[in-house]
A and B are shown apart, each in its own frame.
Chain A
């Protein structure tokens, strides 16, 4: 590591951003391109090995960060993790209580070899629920940026868990459709 600057501590630091949940995605892309121009390994092909390694490490961090930060859901998950919230993968046995009924109905339907006419409405319904969760996440994100603090993050964790579960339902229906 000698001779080259240390790597930024997290994705927000890579982009020089404060830990906020509402981001200007066009500005993010602009910064991404600008930093890529500056640090991409292609720019360091003829440089000493230490500089090449730094360029590789920094760009990997930049690309990983861009993937996370440009996506509102992944961004929220990431910030929760940075703030010390456990957002480990939900196992199938802890279904969020508000979804228990939906899950039960879907499983019944999937067992009965459903046709498209049954599956399509289910898919539409779950996608609607997913969009609703996205709206809640956006609203809570604005609340957090306005100083909502840990209470808001706690609520966000709940919505994220629900959303992840809905996403699995969508996946199951689409698998049955395919």
Chain B
């Protein structure tokens, strides 16, 4: 019986996989036995999994290409570019939502919930669906259960965005051993084979985010000197520029706007992406849209395209200049530049990078795959399979706390190597005060209102004392994932003090737990459905075999009673066949098997090829 079965009980060590959870596409990679990172293909042979999730009418979840197709037929039930919503509040994304087809559900808290059909999803849950698909891919390919992963994030992701990504992993049933910054991962993929020394830059311009990192490579240590970027700057923005222009054209040509017609807009999105991609290879192309018998065509030259995207490219260069300055290196110290992300295929982008860094950019590795390959290397470092390489990364944003007058007091500066920590002593302002509230922020600006609120920490259960007498030492620790941990200690008693964390954006631990449970329930449903399907497949096989055997001499050698017995067993199996309990189906398969034992023996004896052989349960 050809049923899909993975031997989870085997003693083989389960590998840690590397996952690039991208805005546009996601990939999973692993180190092969020879020590080379390889991308794991999907069942269709493709290596990229479009980061698109769609909820079908029957409530089942589609991920990847099927979901991408659903974007045309059911745009309101389909999410793409969900990474741009990770760790953000609903008031922050209003601009973005204008161009996305899906709706927000009625939100009661700071977490975004997307309404897809009759179900709601937070961005981490959408990410979890993509991760789950990649997990399945890796399990099918490697034949072992995958439970641990390294997931990459844009270097410029803030604490909430990182936490959201980690939550997505947990919901998908993956222990996230490490979040690695995408440009750093790319440098690992490049630097592993060649024992390189010196300073390199990684320019990572993807579907939704831009990062630049400058690293020093020495003796297998990859030390990030500085990083900069923009988590809302990518190929999507270029697509939006083109879409806006085309929408205006269409409105005047057709005499009506299609801006509110999601199906038409998604078709247009496909058309402009195709045109954009073609312009990387030819000097001019045509944006071509056919919709309900009407046609829109617009010639687009590379010259005009370059002109349109120049401000976007210029923004990336601004980040690069700041990064070079922060790294404390001169441009001529940078020996090499590595290009990452699909948007680096654009000739103008390559030219701009070449001019700024005065170095020919590296493109030997596929810019779509290099991050996943690097994640696989980091996964192998964590599992101990790679010993001589070590990554020292930095925190992209400064961390501070709110002080009097709405001013931010900086505790950890951006580009500090992580793990990094800061200690601060707090006291009470009023006699008998039992709580102290600490507001933590991320960002480079002076005022609280210009930084991003990260969380509020409540130091609780302070012994009542005169004002100013309490001394609570708080340690702010940014771990190797770039995520903040806070612990507090009463200096007088040397006791740990409880800290109550209220994240400003993102899910509480309880919410994540709830989503994990929910996904287990769903997984249980899915598992049950699969068992039923498998039982039916098995039933089909044996029923077919019995029907065939009826033509065989062996059938006529049976007694009437034996034949009735078989008929009865067949009928019983047919009766339970459409039920949803796999064990009942299996029971009747078993009975039919027993009833046809004599038949099988007869057939063997008559030296006819045993049709029934191999149909054992």
A-side residues, CB < 8 A to B, are 33, 36-37, 40-43, 45-46, 56, 59-61, 63-64, 66-67
Contacts and interface: CB of A to CB of B under 8 A. Distances in A.
Contacts of A59: 419, 480
A56 B477 CA distance: 9
Interface in B363-384: 378, 381-384
Contact of A63 (B381, B390, B418): B418
A46 B419 contact: no
B221 A66 contact: no
Given A41-B480, A45-B384, 11 more contacts: A33-B219, A33-B223, A42-B178, A42-B378, A42-B381, A46-B382, A56-B419, A56-B477, A59-B480, A67-B417, A67-B420
Among A33, A36, A60: residue with most chain B CB under 10 A: A60
Contact of B477 (A37, A60, A67): A60
15 contacts: A33-B218, A40-B390, A42-B378, A46-B382, A46-B384, A56-B479, A59-B419, A60-B420, A60-B421, A63-B416, A63-B418, A64-B420, A64-B422, A66-B417, A67-B416
B419 A45 contact: no
B420 A41 contact: no
Given A56-B419, A60-B420, A40 B392 contact: yes
Nearest to A40: B390
A60 B483 CA distance: 13
Contacts of B612: none
A167 to B, nearest CB: 14
A66 B420 CA distance: 11
B323 interface: no
A60 B482 CA distance: 12
Contacts of B480: 40-42, 56, 59
A146 B168 CA distance: 57
Contacts of A56: 419, 477, 479-480
Contacts of A46: 382-384
B391 interface: yes
Contacts of B421: 60-61, 64
Nearest to A67: B416
A41 B417 contact: no
Given A42-B390, A42-B391, A37 B420 contact: no
A5 B480 CA distance: 21
Contact of B419 (A33, A37, A43, A63): A63
Nearest to B409: A89
Question: Which of the four size classes fits the interface of chain B?
Answer: 20 to 34
B499 interface: no
B177 interface: yes
Contacts of A40: 390, 392, 480
Contacts of B390: 36-37, 40, 42-43
A63 B177 contact: no
A45 B382 contact: yes
A42 B378 CA distance: 9
Interface in B475-502: 477, 479-480
A45 B416 contact: no
Contacts of B422: 64
B197 to A, nearest CB: 13
Interface string B525-563: 000000000000000000000000000000000000000
A25 B178 CA distance: 31
A37 B390 CA distance: 7
Q: Which 7 A-B pairs have the closest CB atoms?
A: A60-B419, A45-B382, A60-B421, A63-B417, A41-B480, A59-B419, A33-B221
Interface in B216-269: 218-219, 221, 223
B382 A42 contact: yes
Contacts of A33: 218-219, 221, 223
Contacts of A66: 417
Contacts of B479: 41, 56
Among B383, B391, B419, B480: residue with most chain A CB under 10 A: B419
A46 B383 CA distance: 7
B392 to A, nearest CB: 6
Contacts of A61: 421
B410 to A, nearest CB: 12
Contact of B221 (A37, A45, A60, A64): A37
A64 B422 CA distance: 8
Nearest to A45: B382
Interface in B144-179: 177-178
A169 to B, nearest CB: 17
Contacts of A36: 221, 390, 392
Interface string B125-158: 0000000000000000000000000000000000
B400 to A, nearest CB: 14
A40 B479 CA distance: 11
Contacts of A42: 178, 378, 381-382, 390-391, 480
A81 to B, nearest CB: 12
A40 B416 CA distance: 15
Contacts of B221: 33, 36-37
Nearest to B478: A60
Interface in B330-379: 378
Interface string B388-416: 00111000000000000000000000001
A45 B177 contact: yes
A12 to B, nearest CB: 17
Contacts of A63: 392, 416-420
Contacts of B416: 63, 67
A67 B392 CA distance: 13
Nearest to B391: A42
A46 B218 CA distance: 26
B218 to A, nearest CB: 7
Interface in B179-224: 218-219, 221, 223
Among A41, A45, A67: residue with most chain B CB under 10 A: A45
Contacts of A64: 420-422
Nearest to A89: B409
B335 to A, nearest CB: 18
A66 B480 CA distance: 16
A45 B383 contact: yes
Nearest to B480: A41
A42 to B, nearest CB: 5
B6 to A, nearest CB: 23
B391 to A, nearest CB: 7
A59 B421 CA distance: 10
Interface in B414-442: 416-422
